[in-house]
Structure 1
Amino acid sequence: MRKINKIHQATYAPIDDLITYRAIPTHDVEYIDPFLLLNHHGPQVYKPGNRGLPFGPHPHRGFETLTFILEGDIMHQDTGGGKDIIEAGGVQWMTAGSGLMHAEVSSEKFKQEGGPLEILQLWFNLPARYKMTAPKYIGLQKNKIPVVELDNGLVKVNVISGSWGEVQAPIQNLSDINMVSIEMEQGGEFVYNIPSERNIFFYVVRGSVKVNGETADKLSLVEFENTGKEIKVEALETAYILFGHALPFHEPVVSHGPFVMNTEQEIREAFQDYQMGKMGQWES
Structure 2
Amino acid sequence: MRTIKNIHAASYHPIADLITFNPLPSAKLSQIDPFIFLNHHGHQTYPKNNQGLPFGPHPHRGMETVTFILEGDIMHKDSGGHESVIEAGGIQWMTAGSGLIHAEVSSDKFKKEGGDLEILQLWVNLPAKHKMTKPRYLGLQKDEITNFKLDEGKINVQLIAGEWEEKKGSFKTLSPITMSTIHMNAGGRFTKNIPQDENIFFYVVKGSVKVNGEVITYRNLVEFNQDGDSLTVEASEDAIIILGHALPLNEPMVAQGPFVMNTQQEIMQAYQDYQAGKFGTWNH
If the length of structure 1 is used for normalisation, what is the TM-score?
Answer: 0.99
Counterpart for residue 113 of structure 1: 113
Counterpart for residue 83 of structure 2: 83
What are the residue-to-residue correspondences of 1:98-177 with 2, within 5 Å? 98-177=98-177
1: CA distance, partners of 2:162 / 2:187: 27
Amino acid at match of 2:46: Y
Query: Superposition RMSD on alpha carbons, in Å?
Result: 0.5
Counterpart for residue 23 of structure 1: 23
What are the residue-to-residue correspondences of 1:227-238 with 2, within 5 Å? 227-238=227-238
Q: Does 1:271 align with 2:277?
A: no
SS of aligned partner of 1:37: strand
Alpha-carbon distance, 1:4 to partner = 0.7
What are the residue-to-residue correspondences of 1:1-20 with 2, within 5 Å? 1-20=1-20
Unaligned runs of 5+ in 1: none
Amino acid at match of 1:41: H
What are the residue-to-residue correspondences of 1:33-52 with 2, within 5 Å? 33-52=33-52
Identity %: 61
Q: Does 1:96 align with 2:92?
A: no
Amino acid at match of 2:128: A
Unaligned runs of 5+ in 2: none
2: CA distance, partners of 1:128 / 1:77: 26
SS of aligned partner of 1:18: coil
2: CA distance, partners of 1:32 / 1:135: 23
1: CA distance, partners of 2:82 / 2:117: 23
How many residue pairs align between the two structures? 284
2: CA distance, partners of 1:261 / 1:164: 31
Alpha-carbon distance, 1:146 to partner = 1.1
Alpha-carbon distance, 1:21 to partner = 0.3
Residue-by-residue CA offset, 1:71-114 (whole Å, 9 max, x unaligned): 00000000111100000000000000000000000000000000
SS of aligned partner of 2:270: helix
SS of aligned partner of 2:139: strand
1: CA distance, partners of 2:76 / 2:228: 40
1: CA distance, partners of 2:203 / 2:68: 13
Residue-by-residue CA offset, 1:246-273 (whole Å, 9 max, x unaligned): 0000000101100000000000000000
Counterpart for residue 63 of structure 2: 63
2: CA distance, partners of 1:98 / 1:196: 32
2: CA distance, partners of 1:173 / 1:273: 26
2: CA distance, partners of 1:80 / 1:178: 26
Residue-by-residue CA offset, 1:162-186 (whole Å, 9 max, x unaligned): 1212111111101111100000000
Counterpart for residue 207 of structure 1: 207
SS of aligned partner of 2:274: helix
Which stretch shows the higher mean deviation, 233-242 or 26-35? 26-35
2: CA distance, partners of 1:250 / 1:223: 17
SS of aligned partner of 1:153: coil
2: CA distance, partners of 1:11 / 1:33: 20
Amino acid at match of 2:236: L
What are the residue-to-residue correspondences of 1:209-228 with 2, within 5 Å? 209-228=209-228
SS of aligned partner of 1:101: strand
SS of aligned partner of 2:152: helix
Amino acid at match of 1:83: E
2: CA distance, partners of 1:165 / 1:80: 35
Amino acid at match of 1:236: S
2: CA distance, partners of 1:28 / 1:183: 28
